[in-house]
Homo-oligomer: A and B are copies of this chain.
Amino acid sequence: MPVSLTLEEIARLAGVSRSTVSRVVNDQPNVRDQVRERVWRVIRETGYEPHAAARSLVTHRTQIIGVIIPEAVTILFTEPFFVRLLSGATEACNSNKYYLMLSLFNGPAGQEAMYSRVVRGGHLDGAIVASTPLDDPLILRLIEDGLPFVQVGRHPNEQVSYVDVDNVAAAQMAVEHLARLGHRRIGTITGRLNMSSGQDRLEGYRRALEAHRIPVDEALVIEGDFSEGSGMRGAKDLMSASATAVFAASDSMAVGALKTIRQAGLHVPQDMSLVGFDDVAVATAVEPALTTVRQPIERLASMAVEMLLSMLENPSIAQSPGRKVALPARLVVRDSCGAPR
């Protein structure tokens, strides 16, 4: 419906040929300034916009990058994390004249067909993939199909480019905070261990204990899945194991833990110290406000987009082993930690 004029018509109105208009529109050289000006005027007056499909057909580029969230991750995104990721990605796209196509593979079936249509149909110049499970076949398919992409979150495959937060260092910092307060029985509720963020935060936990010469007690390591529910369950186990502090690998789990601890009649931080991860809205909504690790989410996303765009502009680097970037996170100290009783 909202079709603008065609190149042809602009050319006629400006009294030049199609090629000239094309050159003007694409800021190419070899057009007399006077002519260029005249053409621009017609374009402005008519509100002409080049037809995207026609252009793509010949250039083989759509100026669209996909943000792909595989099914397995989709459930995690009731959290603001995802919005902020999108916000950062959109911002980066906008300022580079790219568009963003969102593919949440959450639907029951059909995601197979969806994938195929979207990536093989030539819709996308490239993709941003949100932190997938380590064994998600999506990554391999993308490599196979030759679609340039950048993952948000570490991936062990040599070929994949990613931007990540330094989860190991961040988690270590969080746990060392507890150790320095004097805690020796520090438990952790892990994230999903089939995801790099889950694994890495656990690794950071172990390193922190090691650095403080605290032996790891496996009874204090409870596997969670980033969700509030698993935080509640995890806290129960940790109380039984007589932990005095808990490092939860997500704020949601920390909130779950907080609820359980409170239900048991204990108080945070007096009876139990608690640190989360993410620094999303709930972190400050709960009482006491959570000490937690803040991730630069928007930055992560915009860096991913920029990395992708540079790969698109320079196809040779897309071939080489992937670029890997790890951003630092910082600990935000609030009211949920104290010295052990």
Q: CB distance A146 to B2 under 8 Å?
A: yes
Segment with Cβ contacts to B, from A111-119, A131-139, A164-172, A241-249 = A111-119
Q: CB distance A107 to B95 under 8 Å?
A: yes
Q: What sequence of 0s and 1s flags, for each residue 168-200 of chain A, a beta carbon within 8 Å of any chain B beta carbon?
A: 000000000000000000000000000000000
What separation, in Å, do the CA atoms of A97 and B64 have in the docked complex?
A: 18
Contacts of A50 in B (CB 8 A): 121
Q: CB distance A148 to B1 under 8 Å?
A: yes
What separation, in Å, do the CA atoms of A60 and B262 have in the docked complex?
A: 60
Whole-angstrom distance between the Cβ of A73 and the nearest chain B Cβ: 12
Contacts of A255 in B (CB 8 A): 285
Segment with Cβ contacts to B, from A15-23, A34-42, A84-92 = A84-92
Known A-B contacts A122-B2, A285-B255; A87 and B60 likewise in contact (beta carbons under 8 Å):
no
Segment with Cβ contacts to B, from A74-82, A154-162, A207-215, A326-334 = A74-82
What is the interface residue range for chain A against chain B?
35 or more
Partner pick for A282 among B2, B56, B262, B282, CB 8 A cutoff = B282
Whole-angstrom distance between the Cβ of A81 and the nearest chain B Cβ: 9
**Does residue A104 face the partner (Cβ distance < 8 Å to B)?**
yes
**Does residue A13 face the partner (Cβ distance < 8 Å to B)?**
no
What separation, in Å, do the CA atoms of A120 and B110 have in the docked complex?
A: 31
Q: CB distance B3 to A122 under 8 Å?
A: yes
Chain B residue at minimum C-beta to C-beta distance from A66: B99
What separation, in Å, do the CA atoms of A228 and B281 have in the docked complex?
A: 10
Q: CB distance B80 to A49 under 8 Å?
A: no
Interface of chain A residues 283 through 312 with chain B (CB within 8 A) = 285-287
Q: CB distance A99 to B78 under 8 Å?
A: no
What separation, in Å, do the CA atoms of A106 and B100 have in the docked complex?
A: 14
**Does residue A72 face the partner (Cβ distance < 8 Å to B)?**
no
Among A1, A4, A82, A123, the most chain B Cβ lie within 10 Å of the Cβ of A1
Q: What sequence of 0s and 1s flags, for each residue 49-76 of chain A, a beta carbon within 8 Å of any chain B beta carbon?
A: 1111110110010101001000000100
What separation, in Å, do the CA atoms of A252 and B281 have in the docked complex?
A: 9
Whole-angstrom distance between the Cβ of A129 and the nearest chain B Cβ: 15
**Does residue A101 face the partner (Cβ distance < 8 Å to B)?**
yes
Contacts of A91 in B (CB 8 A): 104, 106-107
Known A-B contacts A79-B281, A82-B83; A1 and B146 likewise in contact (beta carbons under 8 Å):
yes
Chain A interface residues (CB < 8 Å from chain B): 1-4, 47, 49-54, 56-57, 60, 62, 64, 67, 74, 77-80, 82-84, 86-87, 90-91, 94-95, 97, 99-104, 106-107, 110-111, 114, 116-123, 145-148, 228, 252, 255, 262, 281-282, 285-287
Q: Which 7 A-B pairs have the closest CB atoms?
A: A53-B56, A49-B120, A2-B145, A90-B104, A1-B146, A94-B107, A282-B285
Beyond the given A4-B120, A91-B107, A285-B286, please list 19 additional residue pairs across the A-B interface where CB-CB is below 8 A.
Answer: A1-B146, A1-B148, A2-B122, A2-B147, A4-B122, A49-B116, A52-B121, A53-B57, A77-B87, A78-B80, A80-B83, A90-B102, A94-B111, A94-B114, A99-B123, A101-B102, A228-B285, A262-B287, A286-B287
